[in-house]
């Protein structure tokens, strides 16, 4: 209906085969002008939804994964209004919440399964062909038999999201020493995709809050990874140590993780 009105006014042209509408003169616009237009459309849509309520999207909620305005705001706020893939600011390009694991593949509407992407990154993600997508999705499910972190018992899991777990370290160096472990069997942090980095970061924050809620003597943390045998890695499955620290737990804490090199930790003159 709207399409016909706009077509009659020559604002848009309809392609009969693809059943899509193209804005007249769109090709002549600069990137800035396109961004401005998209932002204006989004603002108008938001104002409309504000006025009518989100029920107007009820009919497509399941099929296209409509995300409520409140949840959308939470996703953008957590991303600090920057695209979580390329880093561009929301002021320059419109950001939209995106399902990390798509709904039709079992992904949920939980904040942990959402990320803020600019429309370019989002479009790029969509445009990848099916084969590519399937390979990426399946790679998230890759586990290696015999690996202690690929075969974590459910009783050890403190918290999880789509792509990572939090567990208690089996040999804690301090009380509440926690590990953030990717679900995918992948050797090191350097091989993670951005969604996995975000999933780990979300759990680091989540566990930091849990630890401090359970133990108010915790007033500092060391966050660290051993990547490669020379750096001390013994399990070849990416995991991040979250080590709670307490005032007075060692004589002189200055230097922190610098002490991985014995004797090199204290760089300040005594």
Give the interface with Zn ion as residue ranges (CB under 5 A). 83, 85-86, 118, 121, 144, 147, 149-150, 185, 237
Smallest separation (angstroms) from Zn ion to the CB of 109: 22
CB 146 to Zn ion: min, Å: 9
Q: Please, which residue, 166 or 211, has the CB nearer to Zn ion?
A: 166
Contacts of 38 (CB under 8 A, 6+ apart): 94, 119
Comparing C-alpha atoms, which of 209, 198, 197 is closest to residue 158?
209
> What is the rounded distance in angstroms from the CA atom of residue 174 to the CA atom of residue 185?
26
Q: Is 255 left (phi over 0), alpha (psi -120 to 50) or beta?
A: left
- Minimum CB separation of residue 141 from Zn ion in Å reads 12
Provide, rounded to whole angstroms, the least separation between the CB of residue 86 and Zn ion. 3
Give CA torsion, residues 133, 183, 150, 259, to 10 deg. Answer: 130
Instruction: Classify residue 252 by its DSSP letter.
Output: -
Choose between 79 and 118: whose C-beta lies nearer to Zn ion.
118
Q: Which is nearer to Zn ion, 23 or 86 (CB)?
A: 86
DSSP label at 257? G
Judge contact between 175 and 242, C-beta under 8 A. Answer: no
**What's the min distance (Å) between Cβ of 37 and Zn ion?**
18
């Amino acid at each position: 209906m709207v399409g016909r009105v706009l077509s009659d006014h020559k604002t848009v042209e309809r392609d009969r085969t693809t059943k899509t509408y193209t804005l007249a003169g769109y090709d002549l616009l600069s990137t800035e002008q396109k961004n401005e237009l998209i932002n204006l459309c989004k603002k108008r849509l938001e104002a409309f939804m504000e006025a009518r309520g989100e029920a107007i999207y009820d009919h497509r909620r399941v099929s296209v994964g409509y995300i409520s305005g409140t949840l959308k705001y939470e996703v953008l706020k957590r991303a600090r209004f920057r695209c979580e893939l390329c880093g561009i600011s929301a002021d320059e390009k419109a950001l939209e919440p995106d399902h990390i694991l798509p709904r039709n593949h079992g992904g949920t509407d939980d904040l942990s399964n959402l990320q803020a992407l600019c429309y370019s990154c989002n479009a790029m993600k969509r445009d990848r062909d099916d084969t590519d997508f399937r390979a990426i999705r399946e790679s998230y499910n890759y586990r290696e038999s015999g690996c202690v972190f690929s075969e974590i018992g459910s009783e050890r899991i403190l918290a999880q999201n789509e792509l990572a777990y939090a567990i208690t370290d089996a040999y804690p160096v301090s009380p509440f020493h926690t590990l953030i472990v990717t679900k995918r069997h992948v050797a090191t942090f350097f091989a993670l995709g951005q969604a996995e980095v975000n999933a780990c970061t979300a759990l680091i924050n989540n566990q930091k809050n849990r630890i401090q809620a359970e133990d108010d003597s915790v007033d500092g943390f060391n966050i660290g990874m051993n990547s490669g045998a020379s750096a001390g890695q013994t399990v070849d499955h990416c995991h991040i140590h979250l080590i709670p620290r307490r005032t007075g737990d060692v004589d002189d804490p200055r230097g922190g993780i610098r002490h991985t090199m014995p004797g090199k930790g204290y760089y300040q003159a005594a």
